[in-house]
Amino acid sequence: MSESTLITINDLKTYFFITEGVVKAVDGVNLDINKGEALGLVGESGCGKSTVALSIMRLIRPPGKIVGGEIWFEGEDLLRKGESEMRQIRGGRISLISQNPMSSMNPVFTVGGQIAEAIKLHQNVQRREIKGKVAEILDLVGIPDPSKRMEDYPHEYSGGMCQRAMTAMALSCNPQLLIADEPTTNLDVTIQAQILKLMKKLRKDFGASVLLIGHDLGVISELCDKIAVMYAGRVAEYSDLMTVFEKPKHPYTQALLESIPRLDVEEERLRIIPGTVPRLINPPPGCRFHPRCEQAMTVCSKQDPVLTEIEKGHKVACFLYDSNVRTKPQV
């Protein structure tokens, strides 16, 4: 762990105990985010991306439970914190922007009132000054005529404006880490671009670290320095942006990148990854990707691959790059 690391997640395990069995939504995730860095967490739906986000916030609700691991945030393990300590951190030092801006706003309060509420929770601001502060921050995220529009109710805002307002709320207390859970999923492309531009600008101005969760590699590549690819509750590959795009190592990452339509190459059909994400109640043994993997070996169905650094800053969890396995004669 270097000096500049903001948050380190070690072997995080979050399971959901439902009647059919145990859903291992997050099963041994390791991640680091440095100060001022933006990490993109990508993966198919249901691979545990959002569960990682909620685990960091300690907002997993029954039947879900964090069963193991450590989350080191500035030298403190968040998983050992009491509820009241966590409340100080939530919204204050770590903020979350969720994927449904419209329904994340309380319908009976004005937008400004809700942002004021967040400010009051974490900062000592005089009552008279709060209005000004709210208007200021709404102006920052590009809400036109903020001192008027702050008196509007959420249903009077458009989806994009709501997302801006939510972003404003998340930033209102200058968090060190901003977790954005698919912040642009429900927005159309123009608004998407605006929000991304906004987040980029805010990242620069506030110097906060960002954990951007999404399945859209295009969106992720706009904003992030590093990418972690998740598959079925585990990190498959972790590296900086260009490495992942240019030299993907994990077969899943390779397949994922090949399934993006490209304008510069003529192709009859788009490549797809056969099969679906396994059910996490009863995941396949060994590497969870092996049933869909074209390069699967015998060892893949027997042992769990470990996330190992194959070059500096490039980690892959795959036996293809494990010298011990490769040298062994394959059965």
Tell me which residues touch other proteins (CB under 8 A): 57, 59, 84, 86-92, 95-96, 98, 100, 103-110, 117-118, 121-122, 131, 145, 147-148, 151, 153, 155-156, 166, 169
Instruction: Read off the amino acid at residue 45.
Output: S
Between 93 and 271, name the residue whose CB sits nearer to other proteins. Answer: 93
Are 241 and 225 in contact, with CB atoms under 8 Å apart? yes
Tell me which amino acid residue 229 is: V
CB of 90 to other proteins, least distance (A): 4
Task: Supply the DSSP symbol for 187.
Answer: S
Residue 319 CB, nearest distance to other proteins (Å)?
38
Q: b/e string for 62-94 if b means 16 or more Cβ within 10 A? A: eebebeebebbbeeeebbebeeeeeeebbbbbb
The least CB distance from residue 84 to other proteins, in Å, is 8
Q: Which is nearer to other proteins, 120 or 328 (CB)?
A: 120
User: Closest approach of Cβ 312 to other proteins, in Å?
Assistant: 35
Contact yes or no for 40/69 (Cβ under 8 A): no
Q: How far is the CB of 165 from other proteins (least distance, A)?
A: 11
| Least spacing, CB of residue 265 vs other proteins, in Å | 40
Alpha-carbon distances, residue 46 vs 61, 63, 69, 225, 232 (angstroms):
17, 16, 21, 24, 7
Residue from 132, 52, 111, 97 nearest 208 by CA? 97
Q: Is 223 exposed, middle or buried (0-12, 13-18, 19+ CB in 10 A)?
A: buried
Q: Are 319 and 287 in contact (CB under 8 A)?
A: yes
Closest CB to other proteins among 209 and 254? 209
The nearer residue to other proteins, 181 or 322, going by C-beta atoms, is: 181
